[in-house]
């Protein structure tokens, strides 16, 4: 005759659970979650850097275009006085090159 404990035990499912495997899977999941948070944080930092870079480039472009306008005025005044200042021409080329570079960089950042 079976005791009450044996009767109850016999009615329980006899399937064994591999808790060790579940612990490993849980540990893997925790590593994945941790890595996700780290990568996501890095991506957010990069996104902030890109936005800051865009703002800086846009301000630099505005400043360079203002400088170009001032350069044009200085060249016009020099011509009115009958003076040719070769340095102004050299800097005009540099300013135009910088403006072109800034615009290209802004386009690249806008495409991200």
Q: Is the pLDDT of residue 72 over 80?
A: yes
Q: What is the pLDDT of the chain when averaged over all its residues? A: 84
Give per-residue pLDDT as tens, 40-51: 888 888 888 988
* Structure confidence at residue 99 (pLDDT): 94
- Which tokens go with 99? 């403006």
Mean pLDDT within 96-106: 93
Mean pLDDT within 65-89: 86
pTM of the model: 0.60
Residue with tokens 């072109």: 100
Distance, CA of 91 to CA of 109 (rounded, Å)? 27
* Structure confidence at residue 33 (pLDDT): 86
Higher pLDDT, 89 or 12: 89
Could you tell me if 99 and 71 are in contact, meaning their C-beta atoms sit under 8 angstroms apart? no
Q: 70-102 b/e with 16+ CB inside 10 Å = b?
A: ebeeebeeeeeeeeeeeeeeebbeebeebbeeb
The structural domains of the chain, with segments of one domain joined by +, span 19-110
Q: Is the pLDDT of residue 8 over 80?
A: no
């Amino acid at each position: 005759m079976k005791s009450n404990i044996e009767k109850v035990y016999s009615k329980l499912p006899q399937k064994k659970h591999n808790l060790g495997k579940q612990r490993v899977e849980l540990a893997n999941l925790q590593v994945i979650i941790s890595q996700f948070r780290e990568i996501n944080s890095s991506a957010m930092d990069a996104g902030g850097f890109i936005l800051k870079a865009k703002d800086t480039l846009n301000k630099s472009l505005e400043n360079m275009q203002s400088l170009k306008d001032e350069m044009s005025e200085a060249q016009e005044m020099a011509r009115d006085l009958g003076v040719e200042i070769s340095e102004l021409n050299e800097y005009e080329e540099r300013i135009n090159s910088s403006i072109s570079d800034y615009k290209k960089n802004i386009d690249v950042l806008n495409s991200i």
